[in-house]
Amino acid sequence: MNKKILQRKTIELINSPDYRPCKLQGLMNQLNLGSGQRKIFRRLLKDLEDSKQIRRIDRNKFAPYHSQESGGASTKRDGLRVTGTLSLHPNGFGFLAVDPDESGHEVEEEAMEELFIPPSGLNCARNGDRVLARVVPNSRSGKKGQDLFEGRIEEVIERATTLCVGVLRHNGGNWRLFPDDARIQGPVRIRDLAGQAPKEGYKAVVLLDDRMDPRLQECGVLQELLGQAGEPGVDILSIMRGHGLVSEFPPDVNAEAHSFTRAVNAKDLEERRDLRDELIFTIDPVDARDFDDALSVEPVPGKTGWLRVGIHIADVAHFVQPDSKLDREALLRGTSAYLVDRVVPMLPEHLTNDLCSLVPDQDRLVHSVILDINSHGTVKAVDTFRAVIHSKQRLTYEQAQVLLSGGQVADVSADVRDAVVTLARLTRKLRKARLREHALAFEMPEIRCVLDENGDVTGFYKKEAMEAYQLVEECMLMANREVGALLNARYGTAIYRIHEEPSEQDFEDMAEQLRQLGVDGVPVSRESLNEIIGRNMPEPLRQAVTLTLLKNMNRALYSHELGEHFGLAFDTYTHFTSPIRRYPDLVAHRLLIALEAERDKPVSDKKLRDLCRHCSEREREAADAEMESHRIKMFQYYQQKLENGEKGPYPAVVSNVLHKGILVELEESGQRGLIPFPSFQTDYFEANATGTKATGRHSGQVYQLGDKLEVYLVTVDPENLQLDFRI
């Protein structure tokens, strides 16, 4: 489609009577444009905007120029009621993510995706609650003068935060809980001890009352005593409870899991394709306990250079039926959580580590995706079906890497070795093809704690992205992309994994922060982002640049509506390959099963939307818990170092500049700490507005993002988990 035709079609679409304002990706979907046309289309939209043929409204949505929609607050919307999900800030204010199409005011709600909620407008709502709010006049302004819609919460529809974790204190004859989460207004009055015997300084869990009057203090019933703050294990248990994570399963859920005594029975063999004689194997981390994906590869008959790749995924949907006890518990959890010292699984161990796990030398049920790929790395045919397999080999990433390096591994056959090498040749092509489409090529070192038998940190190691890992990753990406395309073609709305591109404001922030780092370039696309990160620069600066770009990116999430995955450069993508540990993958399996049987979609659009919102929230909670568990273990490690007199020096990198000091990140662990400005006794330092450098008022000395320093550990604050350093 040439530029003139594309321009005409774009104007016709945006001015059509049934058009509703949407973002760039939505326009591309409606015009059937591929990701390779994104850069050209972005420029075309900018030209149309400059020539006043279209206009940009809230959150970078495009509308007809004559539209009455506005990017700012409007008295037209005052009094409008909307529903949404509340996100609270520790400082007491919040933002409401407005539900689309909930109030019946389609045009207004389409344009208004977020409300600012001041502390006075919270009306007893808590973080994560689903609420009804009214739009009210406001005088606040957002970044660079953009108006913010403001709201007042009128009703809590559904409570998300019902439990509170904190430290018990006894004062004036009453017990109070001081919350770990600053977003909960504390202290919380304990109105009922529930027969338990609390102690001063104990960590505890309180079930919060459904407070109706904002003038009253939060209060609740003591539900669980976790132990004395600082005792071994209490820290991780507190993090788990604070994020709604429980390792144990209810007895009826465990009983339902154990009602399955065999992984495969005779009836299963009749209903599935039998792949037990095929060369199928797994590649997983050395410490993996469950194996939910297996691989196979063979030449395509009659097609020179073509390969038939099999991605075989554990058929969890066979065991976990909709609305069963197992299903309701899995939905509640949403995902498995991987903390520093343990896994909190989504499903009971009997399923995850036994019946659903694709262990070697055992018959197992799978859902297979078979792809015929030509010599250029293009998928030419897709077949999906339920099957039974018998894995011939379990490989670790390290063993697979040895094979790819030309080495030998004991008890690994030549057939398996050849299959791994063949897959590697293919996946190199696939990875190069993705990068040619400008998939983001950011790499950040992943640092892991080494624990002893008591769960204490003894050191750290960096997890390398070896080629064997990339081999598996590319195969899973292929399967997820193709299944997403099948679901979209058949059902339209389904369950997708999307990653929205940065907004114009995000790109502007990146450019300003890069300029402060001394890096030229204006990021406007994936291509420009990769060009910047691909430059030859010293490693500390590269890390600072990568962090700068990443912190201005959107978070990937689940959506019932199709959207692009900006980071992967995929127009269609879902999560299908890990149903043991992710509930959205289980839903994708159920949709694919219905598609294969030529049945209607088994889940309504409304339920899909609610599922996507819930699973995105549970994923965030699990990720935050994982981060906090690593952080607390690292903090304890350095606390012990200080007590032993091992103050440093420690190599560090400047990672941020705050108004109160320079934030540094230790190279060995990624642990962050502050160098307070008052500790610089010979000069007075000031941070710039963008938080990228600090300058000495008298000396002119500059510390900026990416600078390498050697720092000494000075103080440890156990209450706030903060470390202070000096240069």
What pLDDT does 110 receive? 41
What pLDDT does 349 receive? 95
The two tokens of residue 6 are 């594309």
What pLDDT does 138 receive? 64
What pLDDT does 446 receive? 81
Query: Long-range contacts for 37-46 (Cβ within 8 Å, ≥24 apart)?
Result: 38/525, 38/526, 39/525, 39/527, 40/3, 40/6, 41/6, 42/524, 42/525, 44/3, 44/6, 44/7, 44/10, 45/10
What pLDDT does 27 receive? 85
* Contact yes or no for 601/491 (Cβ under 8 A): yes
Q: Compute mean pLDDT per 10 residues along the chain, 727 residues long, and list them.
A: 79 82 81 75 83 75 67 54 88 84 42 79 90 78 54 89 92 89 90 91 93 88 91 89 93 96 90 95 89 96 95 97 97 95 95 95 97 95 97 95 93 95 96 92 82 86 86 97 97 95 87 84 89 84 83 92 93 96 98 96 94 94 93 89 92 87 90 91 85 88 88 86 90
What pLDDT does 404 receive? 94
Question: Which residue, 230, 160, 242, is CA-closest to 206?
Answer: 242
Core vs surface per residue 178-215: b (16+ CB within 10 A) or e:
ebbbebbbbbbbbeeeeeeebeeebbbbbebbebeeee
What pLDDT does 517 receive? 79
The pTM of this model reads 0.83
Burial of residue 42 (number of CB atoms within 10 Å: 0-12, 13-18, 19+) = middle
d(CA 156, CA 154): 7
d(CA 626, CA 341): 10
What pLDDT does 414 receive? 94
Amino acid at 219: C
Domains along the chain with CATH numbers = 3-64 (1.10.10), 81-158 (2.40.50.140), 163-229 (2.40.50.640), 251-492+577-625 (no CATH), 647-726 (2.40.50.140)
Going by C-beta distance under 8 Å and a sequence separation of 6 or more, which residues neighbour residue 119? 92, 93
What pLDDT does 684 receive? 92
Output the 3-class SS for 408-447: CCCCCCHHHHHHHHHHHHHHHHHHHHHHHCCCCCCCCCEE
Amino acid at 143: K
Query: For the chain, how many residues are written?
Result: 727
What pLDDT does 505 receive? 82
d(CA 712, CA 727): 6
